[in-house]
Structure 1
Amino acid sequence: MRTSTRALVALTCLAAVTGTIPSAAAAAPPGVAPETRCTTEPTAPTTLPPLSGAKLSAAIAGLPDGEISGAIVQVRGSAGCWQGTSGVANVHTGQSVPQDGRFRIGSMTKMFTAVVALQLVAEGRLDLDQSVRHYLPDLLPAGYPAITVRQVLTYTSGINGTDVPHKDPDWFLVHRYDHWEPGSQLDLTTPPAFTPGTKQRYGNADYIVAGLLIEKVTGRTWEREVTDRIIRPLRLTGTTAPADDPRIRGPHAHGYEALSSANGTTRWVDITQANPSLQWSAAAIISTASDLDRFLVAVFTGQLMPAAQLDLMFTVPDVPTWDADDNPANDEPATFAIGLNRLKIGGLTLWGKTGDRPGYNNGIGATRDLSRRLTYSVNTLHMGGEFPAAVQRIITATYL
């Protein structure tokens, strides 16, 4: 489909008339469907900034634009509640973005993989300080340094991933339906990027190894373990570990890539469907805002693992972030624990995770006491691009 600037304006107007008006609240800006069943007023004493529905509505107003076609935002917790959508789920029909829409959560998958791995640690089936080679004797080449399970789960192993341009539109459109065998995402022909345990480098490779470890010690697929240990017990009805299925089943906003044509128009290519096996245990899961919030609450409150293992999800290793040089003067401290990322915004410390796949950019973050929890998903129009401005507006409106 070719979408001109005039058509984008028409789509924005269509989204404006599909929004709903909250009870006991002012009308939302055009294109925003706000929450009708919860209140921004706190239900318990809090020191957090007041939650403003007007600011959150404004953060996602005016979609589609040149960067994003649609957005879902959900804020929960005793410090206030709000949810809203903006933009279009389907550029052909102008359908509005569903609040319960499913989306590719990308690297937020690592939270699920981390939980399963730590459950296996609690059961005595995985030892954090045992070597990967002990469990997977044929994975790492001879001469590789010893790498522990803990180093894999904290991104401090130095293991390299296969260098494919999976967020480049030209590569993606050719290879979007390719199948990748578990482990083929690793580049083990090169030595680790650094001495294991000395630095932290975030990436998918470590959590691909984590998936292999889970399969080895359980004798079952990673997908089955995630489903039986997390998805089913928590009744995450909109969440799947899809293996090779390229579809998003159930309500969802389509993902698009905006490509410029020679005549000056913009062609929106539907990129919703893709085989997620390249990302596998690092970034393959599909979920919803409500399911992710339920999962995060279960994690933070210790419903999924004993306290000793839960503490590890909030313990960042005391090492620098890898920056490809040996100059300690410009080192930045690590920010990732097992499965979760520590983020400081103003005077707040948040814990959560971001993730993206072509057409989808998402995140979840919460205060440790869960009094304010943000989940968002925006449909980006340029894969592998800069951090979306709308996401920055969403985070600022929620926490500052």
Structure 2
Amino acid sequence: MTNPTAQRTSSAIRKARWTTLVAAGAAVAALAAGAVPASAAERPAAPVTATPHGPRSIDTAKLAALMAPSTDVSGTLVRLGGSGVRWTGATGPLSQDPAANFRIGSITKLFTSTVVLQLIGEGRFTMDTPVQELLPGTLPAHWQPITVGQLLSHTSGLQEPCVDFRGLQAPPTPAQVISHWTDPKCAAPQSPVLVQQYNGANHFLLGMVIEKVTGRSYADEVQRRIARPLGLRHTYSPKPGDPAIPGPVLADPSGIDPWAWAEGGMISNAPDLERFMTALMRGRLLRPAEQRQLFVMPALSEGAKDRFSMGGLLRSDAGGTVVWGKTGSMGRSTSGVFATEHGARTVVYSLVPTTRDHDLLRTHIGNLVAAGL
């Protein structure tokens, strides 16, 4: 039976735009899209500011048609990378600077998962270690053990919170956020877990695990383990509650509540996301055992709306090509980064939807990504 309080809370969270599960789910499912809608195919192509490099042919006319401002999407950024390929284009009100910065929303989860997998490779804990051992007292004592692997793969069984987030101080601590999932009035995690279910609480807990085990802040660990080694000069986790975005800025940042932390609070840009995803796919960030987890699909992912690997990557089909990555929404923008398994091709996008038709947006993004492969 549906819980009206839970429904109101879910609506409030979406309005707050810090987890935006519905919007993220729309972008996630986009990659399985089919043909271009007639309305998109008939629109005239708008000029695309682009920088092509390399010998491999790209159907720029198709990309331009998909990127043209319309009644559904006001502006689009696309960056393509890979062997012999480098192409960047932007339309509409988005910055024409190919290195413009933006809040990446739930793409942040990829960085969180990568740090956790690195810690597993170092022997700090295992995929089977219960989070209750690593964060004693954080979860109710009567709950069944939830493992690190279950958090990474969204098979923890955690349910949606049933209390209002608007009562939290600004910005809240991660522990205060988790308290809204563990309130006695809320449903306990599903046990046994029957299906993979995307939930931002998983990565809040993983961020807390990172800080507990390393003794350093989440932001510091992302810099130390990923950003600095890869030369990602525009990628970082800002201080709690900091609304600033260093210029140039990709899109109007108004309406953003920047407190999603390890679940969705990071800032980056398209070149950095491409470099990160390429390094991840090519095994530069993880040891072999943990690298394999990026592509192992849990049994519970079968039939799930959004299918995530044991290592936290979203697996999807873009025009017949299997790609791996993550989507994210923050403020007015919806973004994503995807790559083929060995990083032969990467696609980074960010767009500003003007439609509430999630099915139409799914189709549009799916065709956009497929055109870049």
CA contact (8 A) 2:153 2:298 kept: yes
Query: In the alignment, residue 363 of structure 1 is paired with which amino acid?
Result: G
Q: Kindly report which structure 2 residues correspond to 1:62-77, keeping only aligned pairs within 5 A, or say none.
A: 63=69, 65-77=70-82
**Correspondence for 1:336:** 308
Say if 2:219 is the partner of 1:211.
no
Structure 1 residue 380, shift from structure 2 partner: 3.1
1:53 aligned partner, one-letter code: T
Structure 2 residue 66 is the aligned partner of structure 1 residue 59: yes
Kept in 1: contact 2:75–2:92 (CA 8 A): yes
CA RMSD of aligned residues (A): 2.7
Q: 2:281 aligned to 270, 293, 300, which one? A: 300
What per-residue deviation string (whole Å, max 9, x for no partner) do you get for residues 100-147 of structure 1? 111111111111000100111111112221111111111111211111
The percentage of aligned residue pairs carrying the same residue is: 33
Partners of 2:305 and 2:75 in 1: CA distance: 34
SS of the counterpart of 1:103? strand
Q: Is the Cα–Cα contact under 8 Å of residues 318 and 334 in structure 1 kept in the other structure?
A: no
Mapped partners of 2:163, 2:64: distance in 1: 38
Is 1:181 the counterpart of 2:168? The answer is no
- Structure 1 window deviating more from structure 2 (350-359 vs 195-204): it is 195-204
d(CA) in 2 for partners of 1:158 and 1:109? 21
1:253-290 deviations in Å (ceiling 9; x for gaps)? 2337xxxxxxxxxxxxx33xx3422x210111111111
Distance 1:397 1:201 in 2: 29
Which residues in structure 2 correspond to 1:352-391 (within 5 Å)? Answer: 352-381=325-354, 388=361, 390-391=364-365
The answer to whether the Cα contact below 8 Å between 1:359 and 1:383 also exists between their aligned partners in 2 is no
SS at match of 2:91: strand
Matched, 1:291 2:272: yes
Q: How many residues are aligned here?
A: 323
Write the deviation string for residues 13-51 of structure 1: whole angstroms up to 9, x where unpaired: xxxxxxxxxxxxxxx943421224x14x42xxxxxxx63
Correspondence for 2:88 among 61, 83, 89: 83
Unaligned runs of 5+ in 1: 1-27, 43-49, 90-95, 257-269, 322-330
Map Cα deviations across residues 350-386 of structure 1 (whole Å, 9 max, x no partner): 1111111121111111111322211111123468966
Shift of 1:184: 2.3
- 2:313 touches 2:324 (CA, 8 Å); kept in 1? yes
Rg (Cα) greater in structure: 1
2:304 and 2:359 map into 1 onto residues whose CA distance is 21
Distance 1:105 1:165 in 2: 25
User: What is the DSSP-based 3-state SS (H/G/I as helix, E as strand, rest coil) of the residue aligned with 1:160?
Assistant: coil
Q: 1:79 to 1:344 in 2, by over 3 A?
A: farther
Matches within 5 A, 1:136-285: 136-162=135-161, 178-186=170-178, 187-189=181-183, 190-195=186-191, 197-244=193-240, 245-255=242-252, 270-271=254-255, 274-277=256-259, 279-285=260-266
CA distance in 2, matches of 1:311, 1:195: 27
Q: CA deviation at 1:246?
A: 0.8
Residue segments in structure 2 that go unaligned for 5+ positions in a row: 1-43
Aligned equivalents of 2:322, 2:141: Cα separation in 1 = 42
Q: Which has the higher helix share?
A: 2
Structure 2: which amino acid aligns with 1:370? G
Which one-letter code corresponds to 2:117 in the other structure? L
CA distance 1:230–1:161, shift in 2 (3 Å)? farther
Q: Please say if residues 73 and 354 of structure 2, whose CA atoms lie closer than 8 Å, have aligned partners that are also in contact.
A: yes
From the superposition, tell whether residues 161 and 243 of structure 1 become closer, same or farther in structure 2 (CA, over 3 Å): farther
Cα pair 1:157 1:192 within 8 Å, conserved: no
- Measured against aligned partners, the alpha-carbon deviations of 1:48-92 in whole angstroms (never above 9, x if no partner) come to xx631111122112x2x4443322101111264322111114xxx
Q: 1:251 to 1:196 in 2, by over 3 A?
A: farther
Q: Secondary structure at the match of 2:339?
A: strand
CA pair 84-31 structure 1, distance change in 2 beyond 3 A: same
| 1:349 aligns with one of 290, 309, 322 | 322
- 1:227 is paired with a residue of what secondary structure? helix
Answer with 189-198 or 139-148: which moved more.
Answer: 189-198
Shift of 1:320: 4.5
